[in-house]
């Protein structure tokens, strides 16, 4: 079927028609496989009741499949060369709105209020530009948007870091940051051959399901996230050494040891062995010591 955008034939035709050349700097790798897109859409739980926010529609490959399956799609695209292309390729779909804006600059909360029905379940579905995957996801998570889930194609290694459990070599401060807001799951790995041009890195689809409540109680979120980062600053060093470094301006070595003892955490352990609950206890304990 030469009908869908997400086929090699139709994609080449569109690129030729507009004399479009890919910009590596914008992470432009377009999907040319409709089956992969439908699998992603199904895993995301999209149906005709749902609103969808897409980041980076490209020439509209995923946008089109979302338009067919969802109630409404709003897509943010930064590359102005793509605006006339999208107007053409998505002309048949009256439930798609393309916003010409850098997602990192966008007020997504206001957009959602303006474009979706009150109380409508909203999902983020995207084949993200890989050069800014983490900034995009962290922006959307921190803003506490009323989004049910995020299903995104990203670099495989980053997906594994975001979904990693303690004692995994990929576990780190990014795992904690993402899992504080969501439950993270790698849905599938995707071959390079479904993209035009094929990316240099391997890709996976990551699904993040927003939590109703924070999984741990922390007194001060930024203090908590900073402490977690510090515990992974030198992965091979003990918690004690990393924390001495982190608090060197405010706590002496003995106080750091006492704090670890007070938190009930062996100072010889390494950051990668602590679960989120333990990090929360540690952060809350040191927060009180600093006061
Ligand atoms: N969704 C299309 C697909 O799957 O074929 C294209 C995905 S491509 C990996 C990433 C898209 O994000 C490109 O169209 C690129 O121009 C766009 N993009 C890059 N940086 C962006 C930003 N800061 N804000 C919005 N879109 C961006």
Average pLDDT of the residues of the chain: 97
Q: What is the ipTM of this complex?
A: 0.99
Q: Whose CA is nearest to atom 10 of ligand 1?
A: 129
Q: What is the pLDDT of residues 246-287, one digit of tens each?
A: 999 999 999 999 999 999 999 999 999 999 999 999 999 999
pLDDT surpassing 70 at residue 1: no
CA of 129 to the centre of ligand 1 (A): 5
Q: Are strands 195-196 and 203-210 parallel, antiparallel or unpaired?
A: unpaired
Is the pLDDT reported for residue 2 higher than 80?
no
Q: How far apart are CA 225 and CA 119, in angstroms?
A: 31
Positive/negative CA dihedral, 195, 201, 207, 208: negative
Given a cut of 80, is residue 125 above it in pLDDT?
Answer: yes
57 and 80 in contact (C-beta within 8 Å)?
Answer: no
Which of the listed residues 24, 56, 57, 61 should we mutate to test ligand 1's pocket, taking the one with most ligand atoms within 8 A of CB? 56
| pLDDT score recorded for residue 291 | 73
Reported as a single tens digit per residue, the pLDDT across 69-111 is 999 999 999 999 999 999 999 999 999 999 999 999 999 999 9
Separation CA 42–CA 223 (nearest Å): 38
45: left (phi over 0), alpha (psi -120 to 50) or beta: left
Determine if ligand 1 sits within 6 Å of the CB of residue 4.
no
> 20 C-alpha to center of ligand 1: Å?
14
Q: How do residues 157-192 score in pLDDT, each as one tens digit?
A: 999 999 999 999 999 999 999 999 999 999 999 999
The pTM of the full predicted model, rounded to 2 decimals, is: 0.96
pLDDT in tens, 45-55: 999 999 999 99
Q: Please give the distance, rounded to the nearest whole angstrom, from the Cα atom of residue 165 to the centre of ligand 1.
A: 29
Task: Report the candidate in 114, 111, 121 with the shortest Cα–Cα distance to residue 55.
Answer: 111
Q: How far apart, in whole angstroms, are the C-alpha atoms of residue 246 and residue 242? A: 6
Could you say which DSSP state residue 72 is in? E
User: Does the Cβ of 127 fall within 6 Å of ligand 1?
Assistant: yes
CA distances from 196 to 65, 83, 119, 290 (A): 17, 19, 37, 53
Indicate whether residue 61 lines ligand 1 (CB < 6 A): yes
200 is in an annotated binding site: no
Q: How far apart are the first and last CA of the chain?
A: 66
Say what percent of the chain tops pLDDT 90. 99
């Amino acid at each position: 079927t030469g009908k869908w955008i997400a086929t090699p034939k139709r994609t080449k035709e569109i690129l030729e028609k507009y004399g479009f050349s890919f910009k590596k700097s914008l992470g432009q790798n377009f999907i040319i496989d409709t089956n992969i897109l439908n699998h992603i859409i199904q895993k995301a739980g999209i149906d005709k009741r749902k609103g969808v926010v897409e980041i980076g529609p490209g020439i509209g490959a995923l946008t089109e499949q979302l338009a067919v399956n969802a109630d409404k799609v709003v897509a943010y695209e930064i590359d102005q060369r793509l605006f006339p292309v999208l107007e053409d390729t998505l002309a048949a779909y009256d439930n798609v709105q393309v916003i010409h804006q850098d997602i990192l600059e966008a007020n997504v909360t206001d957009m959602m209020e303006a474009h979706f029905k009150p109380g409508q379940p909203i999902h983020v579905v995207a084949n993200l530009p890989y050069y800014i995957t983490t900034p995009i996801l962290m922006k959307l998570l921190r803003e506490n948007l009323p989004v049910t889930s995020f299903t995104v194609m990203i670099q495989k290694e980053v997906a594994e870091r975001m979904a990693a459990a303690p004692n995994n070599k990929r576990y780190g401060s990014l795992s904690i940051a993402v899992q504080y807001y969501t439950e993270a799951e790698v849905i599938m790995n995707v071959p390079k051959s479904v993209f035009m041009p094929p990316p240099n890195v391997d890709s996976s689809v990551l699904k993040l399901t927003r939590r109703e409540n924070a999984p741990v109680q922390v007194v001060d979120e930024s203090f908590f996230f900073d402490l977690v980062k510090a515990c992974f600053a030198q992965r091979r060093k003990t918690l004690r050494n990393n924390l001495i470094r982190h608090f060197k301006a405010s706590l002496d070595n003995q106080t750091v040891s006492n704090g670890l003892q007070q938190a009930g955490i062996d100072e010889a352990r390494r950051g990668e062995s602590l679960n989120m609950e333990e990090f929360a206890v540690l952060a809350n304990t040191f927060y009180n010591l600093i006061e």
